[in-house]
Amino acid sequence: MRAYGFVDWSGNAGFKFAEGSSSYLALALVSADDYNGLRQALLKTRIRLGLPNELEFHFAHNADPVRSAFFSGLSDVHWEGAVLLVDKRSLPVRFTRMAAPAFYSSCLEYLLARVPASLIKIERLLIDGKKKEQVFTRTMRVAMSCALHTRGIEHTPTLRSEPAHQWDGLQLADMLAGAVLERALGGKNYLREVEKRLRIYQHQAIN
């Protein structure tokens, strides 16, 4: 049983595309057998780049050299990840009527229903957010429980929101989601060195 799993995303839940809503959403889930090993690898990357030890890796805020070094530094670390890529423009109308917590929760439930069991044999699932976001956290918790119970997985991890700057695992989830979205939009492929540890799922909605 792994201690932690982490969930973060890139894109947003909006459907007003002409006003700036993202066309895609990428939602990432990661876990690791050796979380301390993951943390040490990212610390070495920060040191190698001359960055502060507490710097938060964030795909949208990091320059190309930092993104490349981030994934290169994780190529030999034992972790496992999965990303759900959602083309929001192709979703049925019912999705456009969802509030943001319900939309993100629907995506989490979809992903958890498909990932390898090893990825979700965890004690705690942390999602990027503020601890006071109780409605969002509760909605995500219900989605997680439904997906795992449907698969016959009796153990349900504890789920809570945590700020990403305090957790390297959340930063990895953010970087993976951002990199998958970048590639989907025709940008640079940052994932070559970590492809073996990553599964990518395309959302297929049922009308």
Please name the residues in contact with 165: beta carbons below 8 A apart, sequence gap of 6 or more: 54, 56, 171
Q: Looking at 1-157, list the stretches that DSSP marks H as alpha helix, in order from N- to C-terminal side.
A: 35-49, 64-72, 93-96, 100-112, 134-150
DSSP 30-62: EEES-HHHHHHHHHHHHHHHT--TTPPP-TTTS
The structure's pTM equals 0.95
Amino acid occupying residue 50: G
Q: What is the pLDDT of residues 86-145, one digit of tens each?
A: 999 999 999 999 999 999 999 999 999 999 999 999 999 999 987 667 889 999 999 999
Successive 10-residue mean pLDDT values, the chain, 207 residues: 95 96 97 95 97 96 97 94 97 95 96 95 93 84 96 92 96 98 97 96 81
Q: Give 110's contacts (C-beta < 8 A, 6+ positions apart).
A: 84, 147, 201, 203
What does CATH list as the number for 2-202? 3.30.420.10
Domain boundaries, the chain: 2-202
CA dist 143 and 122 (Å) reads 16
Partner residues linked to 128 by β-bridges: 162
User: Rounded to an integer, what distance in angstroms lies between the CA atom of residue 95 and that of residue 39?
Assistant: 37
Q: Helix, strand, or coil here: 204?
A: coil
Q: Could you tell me the two tokens for 13?
A: 């839940």
Q: 100-112 and 134-150 helices cross at what angle (nearest 10)?
A: 30
